[in-house]
Amino acid sequence: MRQSPISGGSGSNDFSSSRSVNEVRGLALDSISETTDVLERDTVVFPRFLREKCIGCGRCAVSCADGGHQAIRLTEDRRPLLDGSKCVGCHLCVLVCPQRAIVSGRKRIAKPKPPEEREN
């Protein structure tokens, strides 16, 4: 049997035996929150830059700026530099990198406070 693109779970979340969209429609509704108040926002997983793969195209910096975070800037040699106080961990940069030179970091850390909220 071929693997379904929506499979990967187990039990009631394993849809690999489903034959149509109608069979799975609505099954995940009970896991959708009516508010974003339940989202965990105190930690972040930063992206990790694989410098040896980077070609300096700048797509990561452009996408981050377009997303409103401006957490990535390019150095003089066009390599990405992350400002952890601005990064929200959305990983848009990971998605736009044509060389797959950006990957998710290895650990979840406490989210740094922006400079204006830090105590001196």
The 3-state secondary structure of 40-73 reads CCCEECCEEECCCCCCCCCHHHHHHHHCCCCCEE
Contact 72, 83 (CB under 8 A): yes
Q: Give the tens place of pLDDT for each residue, 18-33.
A: 678 888 888 888 877 7
Question: Do 18 and 59 share a domain, yes or no?
Answer: no
- What is the model's pTM? 0.62
The CATH number of whichever domain residue 98 belongs to comes to: 3.30.70.20
Q: Are 61 and 74 in contact (CB under 8 A)?
A: yes
Structural domain includes residue 38: no
The residue ranges of the chain whose pLDDT is under 70 are 1-16, 18, 112, 114, 120
